[in-house]
Amino acid sequence: MAAAPLLFIAGVVFTYIVVLPPAVHFLQGYNADQFQVLVQAKSYYSFEILTMLAVGLAFQLPLGLLGLHRVGVINGSTLTRHWRYATVIIAVIAAAMPGADPVTTGLETLPLVILFLASIVMLKIADRRAAARAAAEAKTAFGDGLDPT
């Protein structure tokens, strides 16, 4: 649970440093030759805050997948088999986040795919640990499996 605030803060910092500058530049430069773009502070700050909150929550993806693994809904091999579907779902989620322009969507999709791939590795490690733990419990419950007589 200590990772939850760290992942959220990492998502907010990533958004502030990487996503927002090109997104704001794109949004202010869109049709700038035909219109004079004047951004109001309220809409600008609400866009920034909503984007940072959305990406910060999306960075909780590994914890959500680990929770589903603990419950027994998914495992590492399931994620490996269905990574293509997950990538499309991640792209749809990124498109639904604030700032649905192509720059923001691309910059929001890339780290989520990387986090998903890291989650696959994390769940494969958790699968191996669970299998080793089950083998150790079976060994202690049944002894060495040798008949003492």
What tens digit of pLDDT does each residue of 65-96 get? 999 999 989 988 999 999 999 999 999 998 88
pLDDT at position 27 is 76
Q: How confident is the model at residue 32 (pLDDT cuts 50, 70, 90)?
A: low
Q: How far is CA 4 from CA 10, 44, 63, in A?
A: 10, 27, 7
Which one is predicted more confidently, 114 or 27?
114
pLDDT in tens, 91-145: 999 888 887 678 888 888 999 999 999 999 999 999 999 889 888 888 877 665 5
Q: Count other Cβ atoms within 10 Å, centred on residue 149.
A: 3
